A = this chain, B = another copy of it.
């Protein structure tokens, strides 16, 4: 059983998931489909994953068979497991609890070589729909406090499979960085009675130095104090604290906007490894005035991350004004053009 452990000094929770040690990295690296190997996420290989929890677009009734447009399956090497009680307990001065949670893989497309920046808009919209559907479903489990949705693209960003996929982890705690973000937003709101993200959007649109692109509902900026070159934040322009509150109009707008954002990144840095993560309010917080959901995109453009991630202290060689200018000026071909 994996364990959640709390650092007694700074309160960071860490998952100790020994089972993942058995993960066949070498197998995957050597035999990935790109190199002629086997891909467990491709159509036809559905039986090699755990049974699916969601599938879109399969025209006939054959769960775990081919024909789907998008598929969600439990991670075969989960960091957390779904069965059991939380069982919080101490060990002297230390705190720990059972590693209860869910760890799922969103197979974004049946096509092995399609990526977020190349897939049709219709397909990308299914990805966002799957995020929403899975969050809503998992939120029914009262043991969970937070759901992280994230994507690792490329080996340098931690992806162990090439086939385009995102991941989702449902947690019995709110992760530290999200809690700090919530606390920071609350502090700002208490002082100004305004959402800090709404203020950021207002100032960025006025200054127009760090805006990458915007449409009627969404805006992408390079943040003022970015951790890496070409870091981007995608935010709804209207205040909204929970991702799952997006309606169909917003989902369609987000799809077009996010596709353009990722096409721009790919035009500047073709196939650059990246991580993106959805920051949304905790499951039990509805309609927070001080928090604003967004997606943070972090390209991996340098290897000098070792020191930074150990210290929380970042050195960035590219000002966000320069990153934004380069991204803004790129004009990748969009669907329908």
Given A8-B196, A9-B181, A226-B14, also A152-B312 (CB < 8 A): no
The answer for the CA separation of A158 and B308 in the assembled complex, in Å, is 9
Decide: A9 and B316 in contact? CB cutoff 8 A. no
Contact of A15 among B23, B160, B223, B316 (CB under 8 A): B316
The answer for the CA separation of A312 and B23 in the assembled complex, in Å, is 22
Given A177-B313, A180-B10, A312-B177, also A275-B318 (CB < 8 A): no
Contact of A296 among B12, B298, B308, B310 (CB under 8 A): B310
Per-residue 0/1 for A59-88: is the Cβ within 8 Å of any B Cβ (1 yes, 0 no)?
000000000000000000001000000000
**Residues of chain B contacted by A207 (CB below 8 angstroms):** 92
Q: Quick one: copies of this chain in the complex?
A: 2
In the assembled complex, A286 has its CB within 8 A of some CB on chain B: no
A179 to B: closest C-beta gap in Å: 9
Dominant secondary structure at the A interface:
mixed
**Residues of chain B contacted by A313 (CB below 8 angstroms):** 13, 15, 148, 175-177
**Residues of chain B contacted by A20 (CB below 8 angstroms):** 315, 317
A201 to B: closest C-beta gap in Å: 11
Decide: B317 and A309 in contact? CB cutoff 8 A. no
Per-residue 0/1 for A1-40: is the Cβ within 8 Å of any B Cβ (1 yes, 0 no)?
0010111111111111110110100000000000000000
Q: Which residue of B lies closest to A22 (CB)?
A: B317
Contact of A17 among B177, B309, B315, B322 (CB under 8 A): B315
**Residues of chain B contacted by A6 (CB below 8 angstroms):** 225
**Residues of chain B contacted by A224 (CB below 8 angstroms):** 5, 7-8, 91, 94
**Residues of chain B contacted by A184 (CB below 8 angstroms):** 8-11
Decide: B15 and A314 in contact? CB cutoff 8 A. yes
Tell me the chain A residues, 274-331 only, with Cβ under 8 Å from chain B. Answer: 275, 277, 296, 298, 300, 303-320, 322
**Residues of chain B contacted by A7 (CB below 8 angstroms):** 223-225
Decide: A275 and B307 in contact? CB cutoff 8 A. yes
Contact of A316 among B17, B160, B185, B307 (CB under 8 A): B17
Contact of A305 among B158, B160, B311 (CB under 8 A): B158
Contact of A312 among B16, B176, B310 (CB under 8 A): B176
Nearest 6 A-B pairs (CB), nearest first?
A177-B312, A309-B309, A157-B306, A5-B225, A158-B306, A21-B317
In the complex, 30 of the A-B residue pairs with CB atoms within 8 angstroms, ordered by the A residue number, are: A3-B319, A5-B225, A7-B223, A9-B185, A14-B227, A15-B314, A20-B317, A21-B317, A91-B224, A93-B196, A94-B225, A150-B307, A150-B310, A152-B304, A152-B306, A157-B307, A158-B305, A158-B306, A158-B307, A160-B304, A175-B311, A175-B313, A180-B312, A227-B310, A275-B306, A277-B307, A277-B311, A300-B306, A305-B305, A308-B309
